[in-house]
Every structure is written in C-alpha cells, then in structure tokens.
Amino acid sequence: MASRFEVHSAAHVPRFLVKSLLAWKQVRSTPGAYGVSLVAQPWKRTFWTLSAWESDEALRAYATTEPHRSIMTGLGPVMKDALFVRWEVATDDLPVTWEEARHRLARR
C-alpha cells in the first residue's frame, strides 16, 4: 500500500509529522506488517508512506487499532488531500521501490 498526504498549511506540518511517526512506530510492531517507509517533504506539506502487509485483514486491523484510529480522525480537519493505492505483490518481489509506489499513486 502507498499513500500520499498533504496538509492545508505549514502550521500543520509539525503535528502531522509527530503523528506520522507514532503511526510508523505502531506499524513496526503490528502483526502482519512486513515493513513500512515514510518520506516527509515538510516544505511541500506532503508526506508519503509505503507499507507491505500479509493480508487486507492485517492492514484493516492496524487501521482500526489505537493509536492509528485516533490519528486518522484527529488529523482529518488539517488534511488538504489524501490518496491511497493498494495492490498485490508476491512476497519474493518485496520490497517495492518508491519509484513503483509513486508511479501507482500518480496513475490513481
């Protein structure tokens, strides 16, 4: 799964970055998560994630578990845009490159 987030203003960047790091830390200890990467472009107010999951169920369990659930609802008002794309990849083809993830997000 890849995602791209943009916040409304530079004033929202520090809060979004802190919350992103909390979510990143949660992924690293979540059952079914193979890995996660975060790229922050604070000067563009944009954040990117790339993660690999054992199953859709594992991803849903993460998304609905604290602190991620509260992070999503709490940051909603500061979001200008959010884009997500999911696709299946054989385990042998991991890790997915950022080039692939950005290409898939751009096609979305």
| Residue 108 pLDDT | 86
Average pLDDT estimate for 23-39: 95
Q: Give pLDDT tens digits for 19-28.
A: 999 999 999 9
Question: What is the C-alpha to C-alpha distance for residues 53 and 89, in angstroms, rounded to an integer?
Answer: 10
Stated pTM of the model = 0.91
Question: What is the C-alpha to C-alpha distance for residues 51 and 36, in angstroms, rounded to an integer?
Answer: 4
Please provide the CATH number assigned to the domain covering 2-107: 3.30.70.100
Q: Give pLDDT tens digits for 61-92.
A: 999 999 999 999 999 999 999 999 999 999 99
Quickly list DSSP for the chain.
-EEEEEESSGGGHHHHHHHHHHHHHHHHTSTTEEEEEEEEEGGGTEEEEEEEES-HHHHHHHHTSTTHHHHHHHHGGGEEEEEEE-----GGGPSPPHHHHHHHHHH-
Q: What are the sequence ranges of the domains in the chain?
A: 2-107
